[in-house]
């Protein structure tokens, strides 16, 4: 291969030289710019110092001007000592300003000429014949020129230094000069002996210009300067002075003041002017410091740029030379090695490049290891193929195991569902059977109560009646827990008071419940009355169980604005921890929380909520009722139940008021007897319709009182009362409960009375060892009718005896409570306050 005459080394050398020259030229431009910036800021620093000194000198000349103007306006009498001292201080400051280096090098020529002219005028101002306004204008021209130095500085500032503070100094300087002029002219008008109108008019003009200058400052000054001005001048005293000035200039006549008032006003104006001047001086000093920092920054930038340009030139030159050599040497070796490869391709090491490990060495190594790399890649491919086959087999095994586990989980879930369904079905079936037996038991007890005249035995029957009612509630709890609904309900609306009375009658400690005021004529839909009564009964059971036995539980109701009714159940118990209260409220809001012990049995202290609250949650979710527990002060818990408006019909209730029961024909009207458990509503959460025993009598008009205050009364007939027993089917079919504990059936015609069954009817059968009758498979005969009530009972005597028994029981409980509680408030010992609802016995009786 013939060699070429053009070399890469020559091209690289030319590129190195050109790059070095380009770096030097580019850096020179930056150095020139930095040098120009440093020179500009170097000339502005003396001007900033002169502006700062000019501001102070302008303040001194303005004070002298104001005093000289007042002196001339007063008629040029004796020169005050204060004015002489002021002029001496101004002379000293003026001389120092004119001889300073900053003013000699940077002060504008026009300002210097003004100062020299004012120096000549000050010698004759005290003894001349010029009036006060002329003297004022001579001083004012020089003062304004001194304030204008800051404006000159702001106009010359470069963009990189910012013009905000310098412009703020110029704007605020105008306002300060006009404020000082207002003070001087106003005090001169007060001290003038002749015409004061010209001085007052000039003072008003300067005040207007001051306000305009402050408005420009507020609009154009930077935020930092405005904040400094606001902090220094935002005082009530300054506002009062400005209001005083506005009041002086508001009238058509020149302002006037007594010497004392003029002196006080001058002091206030001087204090206001001093704060504004302080802000101006601070801004001027800050601007001078800022320019010094800008100058130092520019000088540093100039030096840095010059050093960087020189260093970059040297680095570019040396780096170019070294890079050229690092390229040409391995390139030569690679070229020679490539020639050898072309000559002998079978050589084991065809290319050998010595030196640094760079791209050329990498190319040489790549050529050398190409064959070895191919061999190693082939071996790697074989190894990966075997590994892939092993992983495929493992994946198939895992997939089969996964399918097996999924099938097991499916079978387990199906078995668990079947087990749960059987358990729920069994629980619901047993609950329904128990509920049917309890209903029959309540019917038997009711029949015994209707024919019993002995007060002691009647009291025992009432207790059995109450226990059976509680057993029925627990059976219905099991139905709710099993997810089953107990069919039944009322066809029409039911008074809310009757629903609450039924709830009270289902709990153990019913005598502790106090029913307070309820919404007038509040009714509840019949289909929801049983569940709502059951829900309230569970809350009342908790309230009485977890509160002191001598403290009543309060039940109240309110009608909300949206038409809902809110019930409140308050107890004074120990309450509960806030975290547990929050947990229970969250579970009550779920509607169908996990029942206690559904997953695994837990100790009572760790259970989220008991069976009663779980039943409450399910019943509330069934009818859209909101239930929440709240902490009560000073102690206890308040259960709030909000009944939606859709459960509160506005029509009349379907069940007539129990107080409107017709009297027995042939008997006189007697006061009702109030006994625990004596009425249907007091012993059952199910409100009865028209009793079958009363179906034979004509209805009487209802009492005139409001329905929410009506009470259910037991009417004991004084004479003979026909009793119509309930007919039961002869076969073993389902029993239909009757009486006050029954679900309200359709009205039926009363059956004719029949003689009672013989007590020895079943004695002929065989008995067991314990004395119980043996069961024999035979048809059940038709039970004979119930014997009517005996006529020998004196109704008035029985009523008096029962009332005395009840009164004695109440007084006994009060005495025991008084002995245990000591000095308890009498209102809590009595059965109920006059302005509150009655207790449970009143609600029941």
pLDDT score, position 609: 57
Please check whether residue 122 is in contact with residue 79, taking contact to mean a CB–CB distance below 8 angstroms.
no
55 lies in a domain?
A: yes
pLDDT score, position 62: 83
Q: Which residue has the tokens 């800008």?
A: 294
**CA–CA distances in Å: residue 646 to residues 535, 537, 594, 623:** 17, 21, 28, 9
593 lies in a domain?
A: no
13 lies in a domain?
A: no
How far apart CA 504 and CA 498 sit, in angstroms, is 10
pLDDT score, position 652: 58
Please check whether residue 272 is in contact with residue 235, taking contact to mean a CB–CB distance below 8 angstroms.
no
50 lies in a domain?
A: yes
11 lies in a domain?
A: no
Sign of CA dihedral 687, 692, 693, 699: positive
Hey, what are 578's tokens?
A: 């806030």
Domain boundary among the residues 301, 326, 350 is at 301
pLDDT score, position 684: 36
Count of structural domains within the chain: 2
Please check whether residue 705 is in contact with residue 495, taking contact to mean a CB–CB distance below 8 angstroms.
no
Residue 314 CB partners (closer than 8 Å, separation 6+): none
598 lies in a domain?
A: no
Please check whether residue 741 is in contact with residue 689, taking contact to mean a CB–CB distance below 8 angstroms.
no
pLDDT score, position 487: 58
pLDDT score, position 165: 63
How far apart CA 178 and CA 210 sit, in angstroms, is 5
CB-based burial, 214-245: b 16+ in 10 Å, e otherwise: bebbeeebeeebeebbeebbeeeebeebbebb
Going by C-alpha positions, the residue among 119, 215, 133 that lies closest to residue 174 is 215
Domain boundary among the residues 301, 322, 339 is at 301
How far apart CA 25 and CA 19 sit, in angstroms, is 10
- CATH code of the domain containing 814: 3.30.565
Residue 89, classed as helix, strand or coil, is: helix
Please check whether residue 643 is in contact with residue 524, taking contact to mean a CB–CB distance below 8 angstroms.
yes
Phi, psi of 792, deg, nearest 5: -80, -5
Q: Which residue has the tokens 């070294």?
A: 322
Q: What is the DSSP string of 29-53?
A: HHHHHHHHHHHHHHHHHHHHHHHHH
How far apart CA 555 and CA 145 sit, in angstroms, is 89
Residue 292 CB partners (closer than 8 Å, separation 6+): 45, 48
Please check whether residue 199 is in contact with residue 73, taking contact to mean a CB–CB distance below 8 angstroms.
yes
Angle CA 200–201–207, to nearest 5: 90
Residue 780: CB atoms within 10 Å: 10
761 lies in a domain?
A: no
Residue 173, classed as helix, strand or coil, is: helix
Residue 353, classed as helix, strand or coil, is: coil
Using CA atoms in the order 175, 181, 183, 185, what is the torsion angle rounded to 10 degrees? -150
478 lies in a domain?
A: no
How far apart CA 664 and CA 447 sit, in angstroms, is 18
Sign of CA dihedral 759, 761, 766, 772: negative
How far apart CA 598 and CA 796 sit, in angstroms, is 56
Q: Which domain holds residue 839?
A: 492-576+643-656+669-688+794-820+830-845
Beta strand 494-495 with 523-524 is antiparallel
Phi, psi of 41, deg, nearest 5: -70, -30
pLDDT score, position 5: 57
Beta strand 494-495 with 513-515 is unpaired
Beta strand 565-570 with 637-643 is antiparallel
Angle between helices 132-156 and 197-220 (to 10 degrees): 10
How far apart CA 278 and CA 238 sit, in angstroms, is 15
Domain boundary among the residues 301, 328, 355 is at 301
Please check whether residue 565 is in contact with residue 648, taking contact to mean a CB–CB distance below 8 angstroms.
yes
How far apart CA 692 and CA 446 sit, in angstroms, is 13
Average pLDDT per block of 10 residues along the chain, 845 residues long: 63 85 82 78 75 81 82 76 80 79 73 78 74 82 80 70 66 82 82 75 82 82 79 73 72 71 79 81 78 80 84 86 81 72 59 71 72 63 90 93 92 85 76 82 86 87 86 83 70 89 90 90 89 92 91 93 93 89 90 57 51 88 92 89 91 47 35 35 35 34 37 32 35 37 38 38 39 40 46 53 64 62 44 36 31
How far apart CA 423 and CA 420 sit, in angstroms, is 5
């Amino acid at each position: 291969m013939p060699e070429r005459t053009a070399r890469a080394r020559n091209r690289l050398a030319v590129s190195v030289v050109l790059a070095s020259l380009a770096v030097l030229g580019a850096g020179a431009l930056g150095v020139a710019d930095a040098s120009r910036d440093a020179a500009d800021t170097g000339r502005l620093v003396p001007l900033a110092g002169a502006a700062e000194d000019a501001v102070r000198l302008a303040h001194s000349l303005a004070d002298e001007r104001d005093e000289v103007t007042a002196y001339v306006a007063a008629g040029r009498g004796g020169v005050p000592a204060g004015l002489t001292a002021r002029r001496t201080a101004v002379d000293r400051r003026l001389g120092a300003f004119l001889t300073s280096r900053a003013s000699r090098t940077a002060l504008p020529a026009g300002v210097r000429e003004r100062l020299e002219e004012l120096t000549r005028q000050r010698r004759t101002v005290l003894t001349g014949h010029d009036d006060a306004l002329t003297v004022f204008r001579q001083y004012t021209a020089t003062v304004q020129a001194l304030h204008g130095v800051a404006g000159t500085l702001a106009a010359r500032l470069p963009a990189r230094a910012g013009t905000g503070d310098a412009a703020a100094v110029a704007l605020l300087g105008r306002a300060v000069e006009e404020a000082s002029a207002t003070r001087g002219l106003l005090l001169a008008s007060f001290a003038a002996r002749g015409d004061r109108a010209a001085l007052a008019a000039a003072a008003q003009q300067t005040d207007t210009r001051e306000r305009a200058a402050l408005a420009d400052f507020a609009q154009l000054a930077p935020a930092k300067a405005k904040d400094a001005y606001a902090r220094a001048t935002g005082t009530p005293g300054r506002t009062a002075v400005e209001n005083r000035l506005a009041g002086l200039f508001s009238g058509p006549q020149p302002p006037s003041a007594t010497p004392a008032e003029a002196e006080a006003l001058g002091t206030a104006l001087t204090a206001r002017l001093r704060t504004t001047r302080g802000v101006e001086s601070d801004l001027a000093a800050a601007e001078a410091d800022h320019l010094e920092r800008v100058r130092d920054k520019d000088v540093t930038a100039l030096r840095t740029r010059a050093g960087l340009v020189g260093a970059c030139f040297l680095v570019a030159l040396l780096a170019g030379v070294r890079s050229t050599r690092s390229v040409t040497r391995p390139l030569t070796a690679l070229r020679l090695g490539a020639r050898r490869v072309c000559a002998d391709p079978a050589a084991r090491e065809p290319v050998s490049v010595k030196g640094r490990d760079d791209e050329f060495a990498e190319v040489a190594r790549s050529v050398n290891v190409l064959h070895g790399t191919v061999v190693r890649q082939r071996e790697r491919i074989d190894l990966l193929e075997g590994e892939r086959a092993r992983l495929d087999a493992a994946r198939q095994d895992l997939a089969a195991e996964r399918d097996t586990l999924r099938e097991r989980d499916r079978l387990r879930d199906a078995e668990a569902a079947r087990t749960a369904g059987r358990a729920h079905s069994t629980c619901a079936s047993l609950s329904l059977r128990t509920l049917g037996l309890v209903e029959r038991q309540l019917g038997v007890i009711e029949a015994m109560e209707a024919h019993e005249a002995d007060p002691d035995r009647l009291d025992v029957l009432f207790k059995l009646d109450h226990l059976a009612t509680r057993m029925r509630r627990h059976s219905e709890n099991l139905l709710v827990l099993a997810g089953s609904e107990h069919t039944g309900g009322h066809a029409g609306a039911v008074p809310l008071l009757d629903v609450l009375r039924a709830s009270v009658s289902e709990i153990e400690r019913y005598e502790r419940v106090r029913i307070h005021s309820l919404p007038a004529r509040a009714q509840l839909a019949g289909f929801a009355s049983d569940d709502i009564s059951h829900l309230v009964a569970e809350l009342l059971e908790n309230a009485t169980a977890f509160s002191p036995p001598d403290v009543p539980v309060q039940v109240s109701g309110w009608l909300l604005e949206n038409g809902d009714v809110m019930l409140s159940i308050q107890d004074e118990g120990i309450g509960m921890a806030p975290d547990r209260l929050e947990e229970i409220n969250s579970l009550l809001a779920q509607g169908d929380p996990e029942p206690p012990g559904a997953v695994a049995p837990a100790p009572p202290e760790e259970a989220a909520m008991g069976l009663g609250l779980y039943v409450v949650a399910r019943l509330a979710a069934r009818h859209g009722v909101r239930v929440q527990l709240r902490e009560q002060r000073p102690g206890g818990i308040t259960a709030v139940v909000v009944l939606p408006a859709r459960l509160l019909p506005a029509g009349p209730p379907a069940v007539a008021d129990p107080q409107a029961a017709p009297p027995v024909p042939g008997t006189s009207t007697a006061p009702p007897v109030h006994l625990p458990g004596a009425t249907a509503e007091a012993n059952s959460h199910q409100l009865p319709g028209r009793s079958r025993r009363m179906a034979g009598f004509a209805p009487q008009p209802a009492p005139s009182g409001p329905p929410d205050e009506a009470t259910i009364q037991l009417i004991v007939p004084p004479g003979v009362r026909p009793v119509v027993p309930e007919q039961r089917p002869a076969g073993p079919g389902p029993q239909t409960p009757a009486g006050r504990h029954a679900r309200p059936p359709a009205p039926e015609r009363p059956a004719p009375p029949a003689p009672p069954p013989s007590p020895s009817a079943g004695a002929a059968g065989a008995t067991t060892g314990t004395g119980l009758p043996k069961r024999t498979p035979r048809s059940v005969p038709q039970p004979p009718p119930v014997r009517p009530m005996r006529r020998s009972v004196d109704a008035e005597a029985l009523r008096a005896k029962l009332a005395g028994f009840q009164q004695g029981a109440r007084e006994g409980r009060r005495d025991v409570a008084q002995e245990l509680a000591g000095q308890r408030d009498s209102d809590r010992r009595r059965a109920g306050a006059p302005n509150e609802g009655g207790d449970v016995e009143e609600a029941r009786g």
